[in-house]
Amino acid sequence: MKELILLKSGEMALKGLNRSYFEDTLIRNCRRRLESLGKFHIYKSQSTIYVEPQSEEIDLDEAVDRLGRVFGIAALTRAAIVDKDFNDIKAKAPGYLAAWLDTANTFKVEAKRSDKTFPMKSPELCLELGAVLLDAFPHLTVNVHEPDVTVYVEIREKAAYLHVDQMRGAGGLPVGTSGSATLLISGGIDSPVAGYMMAKRGLQIMAVHFVSPPYTSEHALEKVKTLCKKLTPYCGHIRLAVVPFTEIQVAIRDQCPEDVFTVIMRRCMMKLAERVAADNECGALITGESVAQVASQTISAIACTDVACRMPVLRPVIGMDKDEIVKIAYKIDTFETSILPYEDCCTVFTPRHPKTKPKLAYVEEAESKLDSEALMQRAYEKIEYFVIG
């Protein structure tokens, strides 16, 4: 039987005149995500997006799985395409719905008729199709309040569609509709989750990662690439900038007081990330910081790093507990990669007693010992770019 996937867009419905832009972006994102599976005809009509495979061989389960991770989709369902003729509906419904109805005890039928020229009205359609299904599956009874399965028959513009309950989509807004932002990605648990959360709000994500060879290994960089790859089902392809950070860290270690090493290092990160962001037309930075998780994430420390750059810094996990962040990391399948034990540059030369309440004046004074402009310029010139996904 010919099938397709029906998508309901979410929050976009609220966006008035921009709606078309949101829907067109969503369609483009769906196309890209399905590209490697085969040819699909994807189009919108009356607030539904239709995803029609153009060959029988296409793996629709995989397509549903991929579309389930595309932001901007509130709900989705596989459906059978039948003629707008009750005889065809009647003939095909039992066969198509057997997979769900064989194991159910109760069901109901819901009909939607957006094509008002169809001769049967919705209540009549429900009754007639209900009777056909009761005949075909004698073990079933009707329960209109709490059915095990709800069967939908939708009479639309081009055809009629049969399906069961819809699946919840990934929600959020289509990636790209809110602009672009640069994610500071470490190999840790928090930053990939932060990237996922902001992509959900419609931001196209690019990433920047700082490496300190030989203190950090090639494995650590590979791990970050793997994390980016794991984000691509949600974010689309990710451009990754890798910034060599060893010289800066060594200079801070040698020339600045130990107790503000981390804060100064993080200020340098923010400044370099801001340059990368500007080069790549991003309007904001994203970090995985969470208040008081570590010494560099107290309010005083964040205050010192926040003023190092002028771009807005988005910190979507700022108020979350570790276990809440971990839950999302499991959901998006980054957790197992994040806990691989490779050293991040943030843990290289960590001071024994970091200041938990650094004062900006003290930090700036300490930082002035450093020729930070020249150091950062050298690092900037050695940035390497990769495209992941």
Shortest distance, position 172 Cβ to ligand ATP, whole Å: 20
Query: How distant, in Å, are the alpha carbons of 112, 133, 148, 237 from that of 151?
Result: 11, 10, 10, 37
Q: Which stretch binds ligand ATP (CB under 6 A): 61-69, 105-113, 159-167, 188-196?
A: 188-196
- Binder of residue 104, out of Mg ion, ligand ATP, none (CB less than 5 to 8 A by kind): none
Convert residues 231-270 into a mask of x (bound to ligand ATP by CB under 6 A) and - (unbound): ----------------------------------------
Residue whose structure tokens are 């995500």 = 33
Q: Which is nearer to Mg ion, 147 or 188 (CB)?
A: 188
Q: Which stretch binds Mg ion (CB under 5 A): 74-82, 124-132, 179-187, 376-384?
A: 179-187
Q: Which is nearer to Mg ion, 34 or 185 (CB)?
A: 185
Choose, by CB under 6 A, the member of 191, 204, 226, 372 that binds ligand ATP.
191
Choose, by CB under 6 A, the member of 172, 188, 354, 358 that binds ligand ATP.
188
Shortest distance, position 12 Cβ to Mg ion, whole Å: 35
Q: Which is nearer to Mg ion, 187 or 236 (CB)?
A: 187
Around Cβ 219, how many Cβ atoms within 10 Å?
A: 13
The CA distance from 308 to 363, in Å, is 11
Contacts of residue 308, Cβ cutoff 8 Å, sequence gap at least 6: 266, 267, 268, 270, 271
Shortest distance, position 201 Cβ to ligand ATP, whole Å: 17
- Binder of residue 289, out of Mg ion, ligand ATP, none (CB less than 5 to 8 A by kind): ligand ATP
Q: Which stretch binds Mg ion (CB under 5 A): 13-21, 95-103, 178-186, 321-329?
A: 178-186
Dihedral angle sign, alpha carbons of residues 125, 126, 128, 132: positive
Closest CA to 265 of 213, 186, 210: 210
Per rule CB under 5 A, is residue 192 in the interface with Mg ion? no
Query: How distant, in Å, are the alpha carbons of 217, 271, 346, 350 from that of 255?
Result: 25, 19, 18, 15
Shortest distance, position 384 Cβ to ligand ATP, whole Å: 13
Per rule CB under 6 A, is residue 184 in the interface with ligand ATP? yes
Closest CA to 344 of 208, 231, 224, 247: 224
- Binder of residue 259, out of Mg ion, ligand ATP, none (CB less than 5 to 8 A by kind): none
Per rule CB under 6 A, is residue 296 in the interface with ligand ATP? yes
Residue 298 C-alpha from the chain's centroid = 28
Concatenating the DSSP letter of every residue in 142-174 gives: E-SSS-SEEEEEEE-SS-EEEE-SPEEEEESB-
Q: Which is nearer to Mg ion, 186 or 298 (CB)?
A: 186
Q: Which is nearer to ligand ATP, 160 or 208 (CB)?
A: 208
Choose, by CB under 5 A, the member of 10, 53, 130, 188 that binds Mg ion.
188
* CB-count exposure of residue 118 (10 Å: 0-12, 13-18, 19+): middle
Choose, by CB under 6 A, the member of 155, 203, 276, 345 that binds ligand ATP.
345
Helix, strand or coil, per DSSP, at residue 225? helix
Per rule CB under 6 A, is residue 177 in the interface with ligand ATP? no
Per rule CB under 6 A, is residue 288 in the interface with ligand ATP? yes
- Binder of residue 296, out of Mg ion, ligand ATP, none (CB less than 5 to 8 A by kind): ligand ATP
The CA distance from 75 to 70, in Å, is 11
The CA distance from 358 to 98, in Å, is 66
| Closest residue to ligand ATP in the complex (CB) | 188
Instruction: Please provide the size of the chain in residues.
Output: 389
Closest CA to 5 of 84, 110, 76, 92: 76
What six digits make up the tokens of 247?
A: 């010289």
Position 228: which residue type? C
Q: Which residues bind Mg ion (CB under 5 A)?
A: 186, 188
Q: Which residues bind ligand ATP (CB under 6 A)?
A: 184-186, 188-191, 208-210, 287-289, 293-294, 296, 344-346
